[in-house]
Amino acid sequence: MPLVILALALVAAAIGGPHLLFALRHESTDDAQLDGHLSPVLARVSGEVVALLVADNERVTAGQALLRLDTRDHDVRMAAAEAALAQARAQLASERTLVAVVEANIDADAVTLANLKDDFVRDSEMFKTGVISDRDFRKSKADAENASAKHTALLRQLDAARARVTLAEAAIPVREADLAAARLQRSYTDIVAPIAGRVSRRSVEPGQFVQAGTPLLTITGDEDVWVTANFKETQTGKMRPGQTVTFEVDAYPGVEFHGHVDSLSGATGAKFALLPPDNATGNFVKVTQRVPVKVVIDDADNTAHPLRPGLSADVSVLVKQDPRR
């Protein structure tokens, strides 16, 4: 009889020993899910959907065209902006030409003014000696004064022309900005994938009119997937970033994946609930809280077993190294 008991004990130890050692060195939970980037695709501008270029669950790359909106309204706005810019440039060229004409007139008038001033100086001397009459002297003086007034008027005209050039130059960047804005708005009619992944939650159909800000579909990223494991607070005391992790996914029974602890959440999951628990009032019942732990997947290629956000997982973290190693 003692031999039978001993044999049974040895069998139990052989079977249960590894499990016991595993439990002593690991912390495990089945409250875990795969997470990933879920990028909503929204309409940046309003318009009618004229082309839907992807199907549900289709694999897309970052920057790939997903759908197109009607561009006709935007084409009209862009053409108007281009015409306004061309008009502003033509106006600037015209004002600059006018400045050149006024400057040429001033140069020519300056010669005439200088000659008339010289004539007036000479006539003044001749009038003093009685060589010319008072009438001729007054005419020479009037000619010089009129030429001076005309020259002053031309200088003022030049100042005004240069001011108009300044205004015309200032209008160019405004018109260029209007054109750039029109082109940008038109570019929003081509809606592309923000990340690589799969098309999910499509809620748009060809011919549908959508408003700016309308959710069209979601891209589920499948290149950057991680595990969020919710461990009991009593399990996290020895948990540190970098510790080895193994996990299985319910979708692939018996397939073991590998990773490491990336980080522990700064608060328990309950603190992020819509209505966080308030223990300051009423009767208190202590409930073990759970701490979200982010696990980064180390396996380089999971093509044979695609990992998708939302899949359930069983996670084990090695918190204590085997002393035999």
237 shares its domain with 280:
yes
User: In the predicted model, is pLDDT for residue 21 greater than 60?
Assistant: no
Residue 2 belongs to a domain = no
pLDDT one-digit tens code per residue, 303-324: 789 899 999 999 999 987 654 4
Distance CA 38, CA 202 (A): 13
209 shares its domain with 64:
yes
Torsion of CA 201, 203, 206, 210, to 10 degrees: -130
Average pLDDT over residues 1-6: 59
Distance CA 155, CA 121 (A): 24
pLDDT one-digit tens code per residue, 221-275: 877 899 999 999 999 989 999 999 999 999 999 999 999 999 999 898 888 877 7
Residue 6 belongs to a domain = no
Mean pLDDT of the chain: 86
User: In the predicted model, is pLDDT for residue 83 greater than 70?
Assistant: yes
Write down which residue in 145, 167, 187 finishes a domain. Answer: 187
Distance CA 101, CA 122 (A): 32
61 shares its domain with 204:
yes
Would you state the pLDDT for residue 6? 54
Range of the domain at 132: 72-187
65 shares its domain with 123:
no
Residue 13 belongs to a domain = no
Write down which residue in 166, 187, 208 finishes a domain. Answer: 187
